[in-house]
Amino acid sequence: MYKFILFNVREEEVELTKAWAKENNVELTFVDDQLTMHNIHLVEGHDGLSTSQNSKVPNEAYPILKEFGIKQIAQRSAGFDYYDLEEAKKHGIIISNVPSYSPESIAEFAITSTLNLVRKTRQIEEKTKEHDFRWQPAIRAGLVNEMTVGVIGTGHIGRVTAKLFHGFGVKIVAYDIYQNEEAKSFLEYKDSIEEVVAMSDIVTLHVPATKDNFHQFNYEMFKKFKPSAYLVNADRGSVVDTKGLIKALDDGLLAGAALDTYENESHFIPKDFSDKEIDDELFLEVLNHEKILFTPHIAHYTDVSVRNIMQIALKSVLEVLETGDTQNRVN
């Protein structure tokens, strides 16, 4: 019987995982926290390792894991920017991700965020709570049907998002470094991000975070937006320069933003800060800005995703142990 250790596990995941473990004859150890140098000793004696990091795994961890006989780390998310892939490889550690667990979950949330921005649901709720039931320009909405949507990144999630928008009858323009033939039946590719944003009323981001696109959506890029446009980021926080976005919103370069991620979120999300102070001025500005709808990296969080993420990650651990590799390997 194999023994796996799982870090950063929530109670709901423990329940889902127990059945899988029984079916696959695997014994599981659960740890609440992320993998750090303080708790790495817990890995000793296990055959497999899975975690859901949202802060960096220190490079010193890899030789220690190797010493414990660990051959892989199965990250339970699509993003794997928390690992130094080459450093892990140097120590014989295979990093795997869950490349696609429910693109529909994130796509549906991008649509939800868009509708919330366009239909001004927050402003309507606030007025309703004040018992101000008047129809008035402050809550009069635009119509998505008449808009042009710009999709940046047409991979698994971007494509489903574009397909859902297609149902609204909107014009869809897109940019991707690799164009997708199937997607051309419902969207039109443009040659640059700048070209897409200049003609879009909604810009929705679906690209992986890389060194090249760090802060790509900065004040200079927002100058190219229509002043009436909305940004939807259910992607990775680092793609957006938060300071630049706030200044752009204050200067009227764009009308609003729905952010499901924030570039320095790992200290806060997913944790309960209801009785703790938030000591990050920039994050507080995001949370309190009247033109920003912030949600805590929740786009993926559906029943289907929670089940799929856990099961696909654990299957990758088994694959490495049984075959020496996994199709979800990223290094």
Task: Give the residue numbers marked as catalytic.
Answer: 236, 265, 297
3-state secondary structure of 289: coil
- Nearest to residue 262, comparing CAs of 1, 54, 59? 54
Contact flag: residue 260 with ligand NAD (CB under 6 A): yes
Calculate ∠ Cα 213-216-221, nearest 5°. 155
Instruction: Name the DSSP class of 217.
Output: B
- Give the interface size with ligand NAD as a residue count (CB under 6 A): 30
**153 is a site residue for ligand NAD (CB under 6 A):** yes
Q: Do the bridges between strand 171-175 and strand 26-30 make them parallel or antiparallel, or are there none, so unpaired?
A: unpaired
If phi > 0 it is left, if psi is from -120 to 50 it is alpha, else beta; for residue 28 that is beta
Query: Which span (52-60, 82-90, 232-240, 271-279) binds ligand NAD, by CB under 6 A?
Result: 232-240
Binds ligand NAD (CB under 6 A): choice among 120, 163, 190, 297: 297
Asked if 219 and 254 count as a contact pair (C-beta separation under 8 A), the reply is no
CB 154 within 8 A of CB 174: yes
Neighbour tally for 28: CB within 10 Å: 20
Q: Verify binding: residue 265, ligand NAD, rule CB under 6 A.
A: no
299: contact with ligand NAD by CB under 6 A: yes
Indicate whether 106 belongs to the interface with ligand NAD (CB under 6 A): yes
**Region of 60-68, 131-139, 230-238, 272-280 interacting with ligand NAD (CB under 6 A):** 230-238
Q: 168-207 mask for ligand NAD (x: CB under 6 A)?
A: -------xxxx---------------------------xx
236 is an interface residue for ligand NAD by CB under 6 A: yes
Among 100, 112, 121, 302, binds ligand NAD (CB under 6 A): 100
195 three-state secondary structure: helix
Positions that interact with ligand NAD (CB under 6 A): 78-79, 100, 103, 106, 152-158, 175-178, 206-209, 212-213, 234-236, 260-261, 297, 299-300
